[in-house]
Structure 1
Amino acid sequence: MRQSWWRIFLAAGLLLSSLARASADDGAIIDRWYSALLVADRTELSDLLADDVRMKLDDIGVVQSKEDFIASIDEWQGAVAGAAIRHRIEKSENGRTTVLACYDFPSNDTLMRETFTVAGGRIVASTQTAVAQDCSGY
């Protein structure tokens, strides 16, 4: 009986360890995402997105494919010039990470809640929702 408890404990420990590693990997992907977004790095952003990604922009009712998103980078590059993006992970579990992000543009700032689903080292889904018209709540 004692031996079976030990096996269960060991299996649970290994599972928790692998989940912690996956969350850390997801956090690294999210960090790379915001770094690439800030400089409008098309190559890095494209590498981070799964081919069948769906990016939902709740506030404007738009769902973008990978191609749609990459095509919008020219416009984004102008908007992000001189900006800063601060982000912090609020929660990460089961491949789903929720982030609070402050987009600090030269003329205004906005606070967003963004949820990323990561699988196989790539973002497979993203949802973005405005929280506030300034970052005072960050």
Structure 2
Amino acid sequence: MLLCLAYTPAIAQQPVVDAWYAALATADRAKLGSLLAADARIRMTDLGVEQTKAEFMDSLDEWEAAVKGATIRHRIESSDGAVTTVVACYDFPANDVLLREMFRIEAGLIQENNQDAIAENCEAY
């Protein structure tokens, strides 16, 4: 019976991942800040950008303008321990993009987020 009650890694990480995308869609600074570990790293590998938590938080004014009127859909592809891989469709008013994102989540905080564009639109979502 206890085995039936055990969380799979994807289920255990789902609330953090869901909260991340909800906060990202509205540029909710307080929530995003509470989800990131103090030493978190955000990497947008296709753009060659790596940010610390502070740098990411400082970029939210620009992000808020970009995400206005957008929707973000996501689904977990896999989860293995602390690492969860997600496919996310960022549907902006003028364009959309499909990303594969890897989260390393420890103690309920995002330690690492790596983002790679996989398509210039969300048709494959």
* TM-score, structure 1 as length reference: 0.85
**Matched residue, 1:114:** 101
Asked if 2 retains the 8 angstrom alpha-carbon contact of 1:85 and 1:104, the reply is: yes
Q: Identity of aligned pairs, percent?
A: 48
Match for residue 70 of structure 1 among 57, 70, 93 = 57
Structure 2 residue identity aligned to 1:78: A
Structure of greater relative contact order (alpha carbons < 8 Å, 6+ residues apart): 2
**Matched residue, 2:72:** 85
CA distance in 2, matches of 1:38, 1:56: 18
**Matched residue, 1:39:** 26
Asked if 2 retains the 8 angstrom alpha-carbon contact of 1:84 and 1:105, the reply is: yes
CA distance in 2, matches of 1:23, 1:97: 7
CA distance in 2, matches of 1:80, 1:101: 14
Larger Rg: 1
Tell me the CA shift for residue 23 of structure 1: 3.3
**Matched residue, 2:44:** 57
Q: Deviation per CA, 1:89-128: give whole Å up to 9, x if none.
A: 0001111110000000000000000000000110001100
Asked if 2 retains the 8 angstrom alpha-carbon contact of 1:98 and 1:116, the reply is: yes
CA distance in 2, matches of 1:63, 1:70: 13
Three-state SS of the structure 1 residue aligned to 2:65 is helix
Flag the structure with higher strand content.
2
**Matched residue, 2:86:** 99
Structure 2 residue identity aligned to 1:134: N
State the aligned residue count.
124
Flag the structure with higher helix content.
1
**Matched residue, 1:5:** none
CA distance in 1, matches of 2:57, 2:67: 15
